Amino acid sequence: MNSTIRTSVSPVTAPVRLDEPAELGHPVRAEVDVAPEEPVFAGHYPGFPVFPGVCVLDLVHRTAVRAGPPGRGVRLNGVRSVKFGAAVYPGDHLTIELRWTEPTGREEPWSVSASVHRAELAVANMRLSYREE
């Protein structure tokens, strides 16, 4: 892992370790360790901490922006679909794999398909759309 993503607007303090961005159409892989000290665990849920699904979405978004289409700045345009399959707990190690798809027409957004896993469990699958800035 060669690059680290950290942002001050995210509710998640854990850095995302990103492989060097792949060529367009090839998968991008990132990893994150969800520390028990993450601030979001304090309220979600006391006595039974579970990493919020919106924070998983945030990790995918942070990865997508960092590994976006070469030479283009992008901003989130929409969440097309999200399916959660397993919970994330303090101390879990997550692997994020995403793939960018180029727009088919001038007015179409860029698309990201992503999967998130912990160990052998599928945590989430999602599709996001982005517009060029």
Q: Which residues are known catalytic residues?
A: 44
Between CA 109 and CA 19 the distance in angstroms is: 24
Instruction: Enter the tokens of residue 102.
Output: 């180029």
CATH number of 17-132: 3.10.129.10
| Structure confidence by residue, pLDDT tens digits, 92-128 | 999 999 999 989 888 889 999 999 999 989 999 999 9
Could you tell me if 84 and 116 are in contact, meaning their C-beta atoms sit under 8 angstroms apart?
Answer: no
| Structure confidence by residue, pLDDT tens digits, 10-50 | 889 999 999 876 667 788 999 999 999 999 998 888 899 99
**pTM exceeds 0.75:** yes
Between CA 121 and CA 123 the distance in angstroms is: 6
| Structure confidence by residue, pLDDT tens digits, 79-95 | 999 999 999 999 999 99
For residue 13, give the amino acid letter: T
| Domain range annotation of the chain | 17-132
Helix boundaries (H) for the chain: 53-66
| Of residues 51, 62, 74, 57, the one with CA closest to residue 3 | 62
